[in-house]
Amino acid sequence: MWKLSPDDEYLRKYKRYGKKHARELHAVMDNLDTFLKALNEGALPQQIKAGFVHVEPMGVRAIDQKGGGAALAETRLYVYPDEERKTLHLITLGDKRSQQNDIARCRRFVAHLRAQKEGHNNG
């Protein structure tokens, strides 16, 4: 079974989205559940081809609000599936305006995670 590991940045934005964009947050979380269910059924992250999943740099996936109803603002939840540890890292949540910064944050997050693993494996 995969476990979820929410980052502090994600938790802060989750609270904000819950107040200001509840419908978008609900749609994204439903799609996260679908993604997680596929992982728990044995699918590899790169095999999950759903209309709400977008491939981002360094193995990151963006899960959007598609399927959640009409007139929802573009919203993306950025996750990093660590296949070795069966951990789905919830990195950040954002909209179209924050997309570039969100992807840059994801790159730093994954680079740091990989560096930690390397240091741990070498120690």
Strand 75-82 to 61-64 pairing: antiparallel
Which pTM was predicted?
0.94
Q: 34 is in which domain, residue-wise?
A: 3-122
Domain of 96: which CATH number?
3.30.2310.20
Q: What is the spatial order of strands in the sheet that 61-64 belongs to? A: 3-6, 87-95, 75-82, 61-64, 53-55
Confidence of residue 118 (pLDDT cuts 50, 70, 90): confident
- The tens digit of pLDDT for each residue in 32-56 reads 999 999 999 999 999 998 999 999 9
- The tens digit of pLDDT for each residue in 76-103 reads 999 999 999 999 999 999 999 999 999 9
Q: How many domains does the chain have?
A: 1
Q: Which residues pair with residue 5 across a beta bridge?
A: 89
Lookup: tokens for 92: 């950040």
